[in-house]
Amino acid sequence: MNVLNLWKKLCTVLVISSGLLATSAALAERGPATAEEKERVVKLAAAADKDPMGVMRSADGRWFEKWSDEVPDYMFGPDAGVFWFYNGVAKADLMRVLRFHHMLTVASYQVQKNITDPMRDPTVMEAKTIAGIEGLLRAYESLLAKNPENKVQAIDDLLVVRDKGGLSDFVKKLPPLPKR
């Protein structure tokens, strides 16, 4: 190995190391969610009920996605409801906006109830899942009103279940989440 190759490898290692250190330092500087951030999430979820696609594509939507990944004191992981519509219920753009809205609704629910890790308690996890599905259904109704081509029979069927008060039973019948 000549000196030039050695120098290139050394520079590569230094660049990668400094990038990792900078990322670690940035994450370490990130403190718990602030009251202002929590309020912003709740307001964003309410706005997304009326315009899920617009909120998802907005600067606030991008802020939320970054914030939800970085905030250290909340775990906004998936629930059985999200796996239900991932398994072929919704496709393409509709799936993306429903996934975003589900995540936003769940985060709003968790910050309002101060639930940092819902997986610690099955009852809390069930309530979180129901909240996420309710949000998903509100987003679907809004999207359907704007464009009837967004119609999905499985989601329409779930609207009927919701309207009859059966979401809790629906959630209890969903397959369990994989272990973390």
pLDDT tens readout for residues 139-180: 999 999 999 999 999 999 999 999 999 999 999 998 887 775
pLDDT-based confidence at 43, cuts 50/70/90? Answer: very high
Would you say 79 and 106 are in contact if contact means Cβ atoms under 8 Å apart?
yes
Pick from 21-25, 59-63, 100-104 the range whose average pLDDT is largest: 59-63
pLDDT of residue 144: 94
pLDDT of residue 21: 43
Chain mean pLDDT for the chain: 85
> Cα 9 to the chain's mean position, in Å?
39
**What percent of the chain is modeled with pLDDT above 90?**
64
Is a pLDDT exceeding 60 seen at residue 126? yes
Task: Scan for tokens 């606030």, then name that residue.
Answer: 60
pLDDT of residue 110: 97
pLDDT of residue 6: 53
Give me the mean pLDDT over the 109-126 stretch. Answer: 94
Would you say 118 and 171 are in contact if contact means Cβ atoms under 8 Å apart?
no
pLDDT-based confidence at 86, cuts 50/70/90? Answer: low
pLDDT of residue 10: 52
pLDDT of residue 146: 93
Is a pLDDT exceeding 50 seen at residue 49? yes
Cβ count near 41 (within 10 Å): 27
Q: What is the pTM of this model?
A: 0.79
- Record the tokens describing residue 66, joined without a space: 């970054």
Give me the mean pLDDT over the 25-48 stretch. Answer: 87
Task: Report the alpha-carbon distance of residue 176 to residue 173 in Å, rounded.
Answer: 9
pLDDT of residue 129: 94
Is a pLDDT exceeding 60 seen at residue 22? no
Task: Report the alpha-carbon distance of residue 146 to residue 110 in Å, rounded.
Answer: 29
